[in-house]
Amino acid sequence: MITIKQTTDAAFLADLNKEVQEHHHKMYPEIFRPFVKEEVEKAIKKMLSGRDARAYVAYDGETPVGYALIFISRFNQNAFQVARSAMQVDQFAVLSAHRKKGVGQALMKHLEKVAKEEKITRLDLNHWTKNDEAREFFGKNGFGYYNERMFKEI
């Protein structure tokens, strides 16, 4: 059975991040650095120090198998946009040995529950273009595109 627990343990989250960071580095070495635990731990600790940042870990029994790091954002109305709130899913990962077993579904359902408790009706996230597995998973979970980034090397 998959259970989800909140954590503030940056070292633990850094360990869970290793596979994801190495995957991103392999896909985009011009953007992502190789995993260095001390640096990732420090970065996650800083991220979690924010008032509206949270991390959740998925467990299969006693084994940690995935995690999500989220930010809750509340925007005031301005001349360009209406007031709104959103949960930004900054990091979402299921360790490769535990994929296709309902872990991602359980983690996503938990994030939706947290969003509802916070009276948030929108989850935002992004994924890297080469990450076909992420695109497929998020699409199957009802996410759609509303903004696309482009780039040009010069």
C-alpha 11/C-alpha 45 separation (Å) is 8
Contact 96, 102 (CB under 8 A): no
Among 56, 50, 58, CA closest to 69: 56
C-alpha 144/C-alpha 82 separation (Å) is 20
Contact 71, 114 (CB under 8 A): no
The domains found in the chain, sorted by start residue, are 2-140 (3.40.630.30)
What single string gives the DSSP state of each residue in 49-101?
TSTTEEEEEEEETTEEEEEEEEEEEEE---SSS--EEEEEEEEEEE-GGGTTS
Q: Note if the pTM is more than 0.95.
A: no
C-alpha 19/C-alpha 150 separation (Å) is 26
Q: For every one of its 154 residues, what pLDDT tens digit does the chain have, with 9 covering 90 and above?
A: 999 999 999 999 999 999 999 999 999 999 999 999 999 999 999 999 988 999 999 999 999 999 999 999 999 999 999 999 999 999 999 999 999 999 999 999 999 999 999 999 999 999 999 999 999 999 999 999 999 889 898 9
Quote the percentage of the chain above a pLDDT of 90.
96
